[in-house]
Structure 1
């Protein structure tokens, strides 16, 4: 028995701890049958929880363990993962995917599962949330109750496969498919303009799936997030003397929709209707009595920034570009 792990009675030469020295009605002269023999030394509590592993329930301890010695921890008959796969071959096939969860890849099934009995389904040794956070503690960010609903509830497996997946991050399906299962109202039907990341199913280009501390779980505040792709607008804001207040404040979503819209430019409403949400409808002001309700304001005004006051477009009728309307209009 010169192996790395030895059963205590065998290691101490206490053969009679398990075997009758003279006679027995049981095979190999055992003092008791099945798990009854093991429970003479091993306390029963770990084996009698709400959900019991089948070999334990059947009293078949020797299905997994060697009675005397082994080269495997826990006096297992085979390395942990091989021992598990000897009864769970379908699971082994299921794990033959591109991305395999580290404990599975390392054959550490008992990192998450109890080999004997547990209070939870699938013989999990703790709640799914706690099991995940044991390794993924960096995911615990933001404020409680403000994260993604599955994340708040600890339902990691709503989005992730706990064993293996052909998707990045062990996702149960492509990102857009996962998101659309719950967020189907964001479907693009009847929308003529669709934001490129959204059309490409790249939801995580803008959103964090867990908790970011930013509204709508954006991975950054709207301004910096939008400008990370819209470099032309960023350059205009940095180089212009005058800036539209929403653009200056990074409040892009006051005028634009983040996913899809029925209007060009992902605007929240057609043309000047967007402007009228802040600028009084029909306001005459510098328009000299002309009712500009519903006009396409961007024909004359830059929506983000400009070098001239009132955000006038750089290419306009000469006198008007300088604001000298009265040279022509009385």
Structure 2
């Protein structure tokens, strides 16, 4: 039998990956047109490469390819791949992003798809590096027309009225949200989300916007204040362009920071009862200004409790 032909962008992708000596190996098919008539593909011994004029050529292989195949290939709601299979930042899993969502895989969990508003929520929390970890189910139908995806350490559910909401077993998570209003003259504001759990995992996410004329360097300090007077601090120190800046304008700052802190898990009984306090200010200095703002906020909150304040700075990004 003649060797199947590999041409064009698919051939370039195959050769870039190593050609016949790569994990894809030899071609099993000629280049073929996809059933939707939009794309082209070749199947290989170790996977496939799919191409469209808009998404270009990307490889899919292994358990992720098997999952995508079981869903209907490009005719599924996921559509065509936007990336090759890639290693996750934590080094444990693998993923492909598609036009309509993603498929994530780990050796222990297998491959699961995630898409839509639930995927957006998970991404905003830090993907698999968030306290939720990896998905352990596909998106499923829930009660009352809701949708739900389950993860290693919790779930995200969606409703048309409430959007996407994170949940864990009762008593194992604290989720605090604050709208950051503009104080005094400073034309900057936004919102923050702080989520911590019983294991000490935390997600610190937020958005700030400069609505004014001058460039601003802001310091935002937040504290989860426990009834015993111990405050767990989070801070963001960053610059925002104003309308005075003509080139390189960046009036918005979005961030997500994740991690684990033993102080949170070790004092969970108190952390579970914590309240959120915040302060926004402009500073000429950086680290000392941030630390000082956190310490001042802890003292202020502790005074209201009649306690001596102890500050533990958890996240400075």
Normalization by structure 2: what TM-score? Answer: 0.28
Kindly name which structure, 1 or 2, has the bigger radius of gyration based on alpha carbons.
Answer: 1
- The structure with more helix, counted as a fraction of residues: 1
